[in-house]
Chains A and B, each alone.
Chain A
Amino acid sequence: MQHIDPSLIDWSRAQFALTALYHWIFVPLTLGLTFIVAIMETIYIKTGNEWWKKTTKFWMGLLAINFAIGLATGIIMEFEFGTNWSNYSWIVGDIFGAPLAIEGLMAFFMESTFFAVMFFGWNKVSKRTHLLSTWLVAIGSNLSALWILIANGWMQHPVGMHFNPDTARNEMTDFWAVVFNPNAYSKFLHTISSGYVLASLFVIAISSWYLLKKRDIQFAKRSIMVAASFGLMVSLFNLTTGDESARQVALNQPMKLAAMEGLYKGQKEAEIVAFGILDPSKTLKDDKEPFLIKFAIPGGLSLLSYHSFDAYVPGIEDIVYGNKAHHIMGAAEKMQQGKKAVTALKAYKEAKKSGNAKEAEKQRAIFEANSKYMGYGYLTSPKQTVPNVPLTFYAFHTMVGFGTWFILLFIIILYLTMTNELHAHRWVLWAGVWSLPMGYIAQEAGWITAEVGRQPWAIQDMLPVGMATSNIASGSVMLTFWMFAILFTALLIAEVKIMATQINIGPKEADHV
């Protein structure tokens, strides 16, 4: 194949990671806050109480500030598949392009069309039409998450396709297998519900701040009531889908699971680390204990990932070097098979070109027999199959730790709101304020776990990132990386400042109904 400059790969990854991380600052809030305002507006329509209209409009205003920049970063992600991952676009575009196109048709138009009604249509359409529009914006934005996560789930666990040696790409053979991919639904549900959690934290944080400042008391109390109720339900759902997600990772991406838990040697009754500090000097096969300090629950990992206490969970070393006792094939063996497939594919192409049908058929058979691990054929060392363990481990544990705290927070706040004692517990209010940045960190940590944990694969076991990039000068990508970094940072600063100003102005002055 072609020679690719390693710095090009790094810059391409860096640029994509940068865009994705920035994009994800804004999307989860949109996913959840749209539903929260839809619920508030429904209450307004049901009760006819103008107070709820004002409240709805205030939160909608903050939503709009957030929405615009989410859109701006979103368009880049779509086009970056072409600009920076052009080989990827050809090799898997036949499957990957479809959900992206469906996302546009089913979700984006719904979102953008009814967004205009939601913001400017208060006096132009009937109350019910307006309410319907608000719900359609919420559903539309979540449907776009559905299709993009179907696409992402497919990268993590490619199904419903086969490699066509004539076109040298993967082609879709089963659309429904792609849609109902277990990695797709578990990711979709876990992701959107995490967005709902963040939106609840957002409403709670701002309302808590008002209560701390002893202003807009009624507004804050009622908003907290809505957010904590919504938050508790969705965070419990988030926990359930998180478990399902982890189970799918265990089944389809054992290396990622091992990295998430810092598990080097496979175990039965594998323990789950609740808290731990990794030994930075740990390397593969050095027989050192991977943790400096840890607090672990015996059997927890086996139970969570395979729903059985004595299930065997393979470790990083088992997956890299193989483990005959547990029928795990090592990366070296997979690389051998992969190289056979790559060579056979080349020979097949040449035989076809020269019109040697018999040879072509022979090579094709060799290719088909070995194509399962074709992606490994592009690797040069078995160790390349190991992702960055500390980053994956810490990101995962941050997400889980913070997520657990949010459930507790929602329970405490809901209880105190019910008993009307919330304002008397200032530490809870401060906790409500500080949980918002924690929410954002948990969001990003979740994606770092998912995406760093599956390196080096662009498509699990099929296409390493190095094979997926566009063949351009790395300097060009470096240049655009810095341009993006500067522009996004500037826009983020503006967004935060505008948001803070609006929050400071508050619900009373912000509205002239």
Chain B
Amino acid sequence: MFNALTTLQLQEYWWFLTALLAALFVFMTFVQGGQSLLWTLAKTETERDIIVNVLGRKWELTFTTLVMFGGALFASFPLFYATSFGGAYYVWMAILFCFIIQAVAYEYRKKPGNVFGEKTYEVFLFINGSLGIILVGTALGTLFTGGHFIVNDMHLSHWTTKTYGLEAVLSFFNVAFGFMLFFLARLSAALYFINAVDDTSILSRARTVLKYESWIFLILFLYVAGSILTMNGYTYDPQTMIVSVEPMKFLHNFEAMPLLAIAFGAGVLLLLAGLYMGTYTQSDKGIWPAGMGIVLTVTSLMLVLGYNHTAFYPSLSDMQSSLTIENSASSRYTLIAMSYVSLLVPFVLGYIVLVWRAMNREKITADEVKNDPHHY
């Protein structure tokens, strides 16, 4: 069945899956947002335990989504994997370090004999939830602003600055992108706590967070979205593959693909609705419209970045080295084989949803955490 698709359609299908994974990951970063709110929302040890345990049931899913995102990129767009990871070395390494310390923190935090003490592991969680997400956001920002790399005739690549990716933080846009994701993660965390926790003081603090930080997020979001719509983008000629600059490329892409514009708009509205529900109503369901909004917005942004003959990873050192979904993709054979594997996605999403519902049927209380011998 996938044999009938053209190579470009296969590449677009895989870019869609990558975009979806990125979107699901951004949604799931409520775990990181929650970690960064640990000391904001919790003032006592019991409250901290509740926060850590609520997140502790979900952190592996976020982690796995990130790993899956990497795996999907490797399988479908290996040139991006090679160019960006091997070039923007320091940024990706810094991100990795932020995730290593997260993986042990939940399990080790409360265990006797953990050598470094409870506080250290909480700091690990905070670093992962703040620096980790800001760096991921900064790296995602470079998909719009570009990186300093050259790809040679043999498709082997190298970075041209000795800072190996750290220079990305010099771009205001990239950093704003990072902080936007950071605040988004905190907001969705607050919404998630409202949904999953039964503890009045944590909940009232979560609503306060929503009340103030929504505005910070919105300002950052307006700046980032405005920049994207007005910035220069790289376009390429589908026949010759020659890359050139096009002013307001992403705005043109939205015009060319109105469905994505609608999805983007709907996503933003849903997110706002979720934030409103969390801030100004007593509803505990705000996470769902917000979550759907995040997935829609991020997916449509990623699609606008890769579709319609756009370079999704512009090179600032050599424009013709810029990566597109056509020049960085796997072979037709591999894309087809992997497309068959992708038929498992609905099945995987299905059991994740089932398990989620079973595990979140009742809200978590201080008593439950205390009485669970295996609590984090």
Contact = CB atoms under 8 A, between A and B. Distances in A.
A352 B67 CA distance: 38
B211 interface: no
A511 B96 CA distance: 35
Interface in A50-90: 57, 60-61, 64-65, 67-69, 71-76, 78-79, 81-87, 89-90
B107 A97 contact: no
B316 interface: no
B75 A97 contact: yes
Contacts, number: 279
Interface stretch (A115-123, A190-198, A250-258): A115-123
A69 B64 contact: no
B288 interface: no
A512 B373 CA distance: 6
B43 interface: no
A502 interface: yes
A124 B358 contact: yes
Interface in B76-121: 76, 78-79, 81-87, 89-90, 92-93, 96-97, 99-104, 106-108, 111-116
B158 A472 contact: yes
A69 to B, nearest CB: 5
Interface size bracket, A side = 35 or more
Given A82-B81, A124-B361, A471-B86, A101 B164 contact: no
A83 B78 contact: no
A476 B158 CA distance: 14
B280 to A, nearest CB: 32
A513 interface: yes
B169 interface: no
Given A86-B82, A97-B78, A471-B158, A498 B113 contact: yes
A232 interface: no
B352 A113 contact: yes
B153 A75 contact: no
B375 to A, nearest CB: 8
B85 A82 contact: yes
Nearest to A1: B154
Given A57-B374, A79-B70, A471-B158, A98 B334 contact: yes
B330 A90 contact: no
A124 B100 contact: no
B154 A86 contact: no
A89 B374 contact: no
A105 B106 contact: no
A64 B92 CA distance: 27
Contacts of A113: 61, 351-352, 355
A164 B329 CA distance: 14
B4 interface: no
Given A2-B156, A104-B72, A117 B67 contact: no
30 contacts: A1-B156, A2-B156, A61-B374, A64-B107, A68-B104, A69-B103, A72-B99, A72-B101, A72-B104, A75-B66, A98-B338, A100-B71, A101-B338, A101-B341, A102-B338, A105-B345, A113-B351, A113-B352, A116-B58, A120-B359, A124-B358, A129-B358, A473-B164, A487-B97, A491-B104, A495-B108, A498-B113, A502-B113, A510-B373, A511-B373
Interface of B: 56-58, 60-61, 63-64, 66-68, 70-72, 74-76, 78-79, 81-87, 89-90, 92-93, 96-97, 99-104, 106-108, 111-116, 152-159, 162, 164, 330-331, 333-334, 337-338, 341-342, 344-345, 348, 351-352, 355, 358-359, 361-362, 371-374
